[in-house]
Structure 1
Amino acid sequence: MVAAVPDDRDLLGVLDELVLLFIGRRDAFFAAHNVPPAQSNLLLGLHERGKPASMTELAVAQGVVPRTITSLVDGLEQRGLARRTADPKDRRAILVSLTEKGLALVDRLELGKANLATAVFARLTERERVTFGHLLRKLSIAPPGEGTKQ
């Protein structure tokens, strides 16, 4: 028996449910570590970058205005997770880097993300994972005329 082809709204509804499920579980994990999602994303982004970043670079990478980055970095700095230092190449600029405490938290967050991914995708067979990955990559590429992917 052939399954009925779902319409676009059905597919979008399922995608919405999956995204909300993932975000809810991720945010609950971050909350258990007393780190708001925006700060967690900034910590993970700084770690992925692998080197200190200027406030402007962080704002661009996070897709927020500079004032928002200032508030996020303030929160991380108050908790001892990040530090600001003068840029040796430009004393007017400030660089943000992770502290040892910040790096330790990133390790826990990365492990939590990996465990979450395992839990979410555990029901998929190897073949389904390959297909799902292919479809996600295909959908993440903007069609011509719609700009670049965000």
Structure 2
Amino acid sequence: MGRLGMQLAWHGKITDTRMRRALSATGLTPRHAMTLMNLGGGPVSQQALIEQLGVDPSSVVSLLNDLENDDLVRRRRDPADRRRHIVEITDEGAETLSRLEAALAKVEDEMFVGLSAEERTLLGSLLTKISASHSDYDCA
């Protein structure tokens, strides 16, 4: 498999399968997990979350509804601007995020066992560079 695109597609499918398997223990889909991970750094406006995830606003509303129903996130009106919603992770959401991060770290450690820390960092940088040049795709 000399074609880089084919290698990425092949390894992407393998990674997706392993990540989904790890996520199943938390009951989250990849989109739910990405949403929680984006909220792990602290409260953000719903609009900022939409921009961070790079998905359609209606998709984010649906994701937040699911996460809110499971008491993993909370939405509230911004006191400074009642038109804006602030989204924050709950204590239960933070615990779920911790379990999620541990499960994903285990999968990554298994998948990248043959790479040094420097090579993992380089791979991450290269993938980020590829993503930045194709930011118009909705893949989340």
| Same fold at TM > 0.5 | yes
Residue 41, structure 1, aligned to residue 34, structure 2: yes
The aligned counterpart of 2:122 is 134
Letter in 1 for 2:109: T
The residue correspondences of 1:74-85 to structure 2 (distance < 5 A) are: 74-85=65-76
Q: 1:98 aligns with which of 89, 95, 98?
A: 89
Q: Give a deviation string over 1:24-58, Cα, whole Å, max 9, x none.
A: 111111122211111111001111xx221111111
Which SS does the other structure have where 2:129 is aligned? coil
Q: CA RMSD in A?
A: 2.1
Q: CA deviation at 1:125?
A: 5.2
Distance 1:139 1:37, change over 3 A: closer
After TM superposition, the structure 1 stretch with the greater mean CA deviation from structure 2, 31-40 or 73-82, is 31-40
Letter in 2 for 1:46: L
- Aligned length, in residue pairs: 134
Residue 86, structure 1, aligned to residue 77, structure 2: yes
Q: 1:29 aligns with which of 14, 19, 22?
A: 22
Aligned residues: percent identity? 28
Contact residue 81 and residue 103 of structure 1 kept, 8 A: yes
Contact residue 45 and residue 86 of structure 2 kept, 8 A: yes
Q: Which runs of 5+ in 2 are unaligned?
A: 136-140
CA distance in 1, matches of 2:115, 2:48: 39
Which SS does the other structure have where 1:92 is aligned? strand
Which SS does the other structure have where 2:85 is aligned? strand
4+ residue runs over 4 A deviation? none
Distance 1:73 1:114, change over 3 A: same
Q: Which runs of 5+ in 1 are unaligned?
A: 1-5
Letter in 2 for 1:65: D
CA distance in 2, matches of 1:84, 1:136: 32
Q: Give a deviation string over 1:75-119, Cα, whole Å, max 9, x none.
A: 000000000111121122111100000000000011111111111
Contact residue 141 and residue 149 of structure 1 kept, 8 A: no
Which structure is richer in relative contact order (CA contacts within 8 A, separation 6 or more)?
2
Q: CA deviation at 1:15?
A: 2.4
Letter in 2 for 1:141: K
Normalised TM-score (structure 2): 0.83
Greater C-alpha radius of gyration: 1
